[in-house]
Structure 1
Amino acid sequence: MTLARLWQTSRPRFWMYVLGPFVVGLAALKSPAVFYSPLALIFLVYFLLPANLLIYGINDIFDYETDVLNAKKQGYEALVPPDQRKALSLAIALTNLPFFAAAYFLPRPAQLALVAFVLLSAFYSAPPIRAKSKPFLDASFNALYICPGYVAYFLAGGTTLSLPTLFAGWAWVMAMQAYSAVPDITADRESSTFTVATTLGLRGTLLFCLALYLTAAALAFPAIGWLAVPLGLVYATLMLLSLRAGTEEGVMRLYKHFPLINTFCGAGLFFAALAP
């Protein structure tokens, strides 16, 4: 498997989904010097290609039967055929294991957050759990995307865990997963893969996402103040536009802007966290 193919498999457009929470977690203690600590720099590198190759590489290894039916894999994402699984598995191991060794030097809570990230990433797609084929468990396993924030927060010396903030992040990433499953409804149904989106249908899933985004904004308000309002409005508007589109193809056209929307909103959270 070529380096270009590994790069494509790691979904660079989605790298900010784990890197973003990591840098927000570093910023939470409002100490810019922590960004230059050796461990912070090491895991900053980890949450670029290696962590994303772990998430999406495992996904591609176990999803071929669904992916081959999915139009999204024809150009927007890559299709990994069965004969490349062994090479991809080796690449995932070689890029991730050195960072798992470095985790020995992390504080214990950061280690636990990293373990949670790895397990949720693996068993979202891999048996015996394969959460992505179990409605609502699939959305819940998307908690993997908030784990890098807690790795960073505890790495930087954080000690307290705010439950409202935790559940705000969890609601947000559940909505992110459910929304991403909407363009896949037909392909998932054809391959008998049952997801939150195949269960609720297009309209029901978008309303579910809308409720989750509004819940996330409300729970985040004590931590980020009035920034929660425009952030909530951005995602509420996206869900309403998707409802108006009314088809998987129409949602897909909007979904292609989703990574950029998430990146800009994440940047807002970063600067809010870093502000005195």
Structure 2
Amino acid sequence: MLLRAALFWGALAGSAQADLAVITSQAAGRLTFLQTADGSLLREVDLPGQPAAIAVSAAHVAVIAVGSRTLHLLDPAGREVARHVFSGAPFALAFDGQSGDLLVTDAIGAGAVHRLSVPDLKPLGQMSAAANPTGIDSDAVGWFVVAARDADLALIYPPGCRSCSPRSVSVGHHPFGVTLHEGRAYVSNVLSDDLSVIDLQSGTEIARIPTGARPYATTFSGGRGFVSNQYDASLTVFDAAGLKVIGEIETADYPEGLSTDSEGRVVVAAWFSDLVQIFDPNTLQMISESPVAEGPRAFGRFITLNPAP
């Protein structure tokens, strides 16, 4: 694993406001570390095996390289801490908000979710899923939700689950990305062009929000939700309280990964344009645009707030 940039972690450690975005470039086999305040480059790290999905915490960066079926755990400076190779088909991951464990979806057999300890990546349990589990997210309480793409289901797991079976909720067609926010799960339905809103406690779908073509990921800022629309080169903007669409933002071609920093800035990875764009959530105007290595995906929560040195 090769560190490419001349700027090192010490340049960032003194500023609590210097949120860090880590962008996976699947085609290039590289991670790009950017400062979200202005999109400036901090460093690049080679990571072979088609890195796509990502999850970050204050202390770690976790990446799934889908080509090599490998989970890589790094520190915020890009140095590898541990790795774990799967026998199945791992895809997406999230840090459990309660325990700090890593949760990884896997298309092996009928579908599964793996739980691994951090930082040693020791397997702690495996939970059943459904056909082709893709996106996953967890909240601070420890709930986690998985999108089962080929079953048109969202799977809800209670806090602390290591071997339990999930509650299944029917959603739109081809669910993919999942974001948990204030007691709800937001599931992007790629082929029905809408967003399912699920109440975690009751396990019911309470709304469907129309989006642009091929919605992928969701994030929140300042009482608004933002959904990346791959085929429309746009973000759908909706009111998080009323769950009604209130606007749209034009983006570069094929926006995918989407996350928010501690100042509320909305950060987008545009896969076909090899760009990362940062938007003001109030004016809906672009703040900065940064070129990155070929094929940025950044699928997951890719921004660490107040990262550890």
Q: What TM-score do the two structures reach when normalised by structure 1?
A: 0.28
Q: Where is the strand percentage greater, Structure 1 or Structure 2?
A: 2
Q: Where is the helix percentage greater, Structure 1 or Structure 2?
A: 1
| Higher relative contact order (Cα pairs below 8 Å, separated by 6+ residues) | 1
Q: What TM-score do the two structures reach when normalised by structure 2?
A: 0.26
